[in-house]
Amino acid sequence: MENNNKHSLLQPLITPISSPTTTTAAATAAAETSSTCYSLLDDHHYDPFIKSSKIISNTNFIFRILLVFLVASISIWANYEASRTFDINIVNDSKDSQAGKRFDLFYVSNDKATRIVLNTSSFVEHFLYNNNSNNIKPYTKKHIKSVTLRLVDRNLTAAAVTAAEDHHASGKYFKGYNYNYNYVIDINPMLIEDKDYNNMTFIVVGAIQRAMARIWLWDGGSRAPPRLVDGMVEYIVELAGFGRKGVSGGGGDGDGGRNLPDCGGGHRGWWEDKEPKEVAHYLQYYENYKKGFIQRLNEAMKDTWHDRMVDDVLGFPSMKICGLYNASFGSVVSPETRFV
């Protein structure tokens, strides 16, 4: 009897076990509460985070695009600066004139004048100093420190006038020392007054091309004949497509390059009494006869000059070339073929 009473007193101390139905209902309620809670979190806490993430993602994408453009711009600028083997200065001494205002508008404000100097210089450099593996000895290139392109405030007798700032060092290569040259190209303001923009640009570029050809050519320490040097300048300008009337194609007087002018009596200094276009005409035949003649002649003139230089570089008396030109095919026949 006592045992039964004790058991009855202890029974309420044991935790009752919930029925399966009650547990399932409780779990469902908890799940719904949890779902509601997550839903509330999604609506009120996670959406702004997701939107912020999207904004950050878009910002990163835009930043990367801008970075690519920046790197590309820096690369272009670096290449542009690398192509500038010398300093370029653009000066307008005629700012108040109509020509000066047009010069600023068409050539200074957009940096076109600088690009023209670079492009015309590059053409001459690649022609005169094309050092490749076929050259036994590389050509000696001038060291140009700076080129100043200046629109002057007075009319000139020529389209452009080129001069070295240091006249004592101009064109000199002494005992292996290559001077650093500073050149000034004076542009005639009359060139800028042409109302036809295309024609004006053609004339301006042609004048600068001529000036850059003169700048890059050696002249035997100022001892080479000016007429011969002028003819070499004319030859290069013609190659660039800016030749004077009658020189196109290497011919003179509209003959299409089929006939040489008079040889001038057979003396070595045949260029002394000839115009630049005639000298350029001869030089074209010498170049046809011996490829690379102009480059080798320029190299020979880097530090000296003598009257036999053209013949020595050509490897054949230059005056005999007059009789070696084949009018039918526009080519030079070798001396062996001509006189056999």
Q: How far is CA 259 from CA 250, 277, 289, 324, in A?
A: 10, 14, 15, 11
Share of the chain above pLDDT 70, in %: 59
Selected residue with higher pLDDT from 217 and 251:
217
Q: Which of 104-118, 173-187, 287-301 is predicted with the least confidence, judged by mean pLDDT?
A: 173-187
Which residues are paired to 92 by β-bridges?
151
pLDDT of residue 16 exceeding 60: no
Q: Which of 22-26, 50-54, 112-116 is predicted with the least confidence, judged by mean pLDDT?
A: 22-26
Work out the mean pLDDT of the chain and round it to a whole number: 74
Share of the chain above pLDDT 90, in %: 40
Give per-residue pLDDT as tens, 71-80: 766 655 555 5
pLDDT of residue 41 exceeding 70: no
pLDDT of residue 279 exceeding 70: yes
Q: What are the structure tokens assigned to 8, written together?
A: 């009855």
Q: How far is CA 273 from CA 18, 236, 301, in A?
A: 127, 20, 21
Residue 217, by phi and psi: left (phi above 0), alpha (psi -120 to 50) or beta? beta
**Mean pLDDT across 265-272:** 69
Selected residue with higher pLDDT from 39 and 155:
155
What's the CA gap between 290 and 286, in Å, rounded?
6
The residues spanned by each domain of the chain are 82-216, 222-340
What's the CA gap between 113 and 130, in Å, rounded?
25
Predicted local confidence at residue 73, as pLDDT: 62
Q: What are the structure tokens assigned to 240, written together?
A: 């660039």
Regarding pTM above 0.85, the answer is no
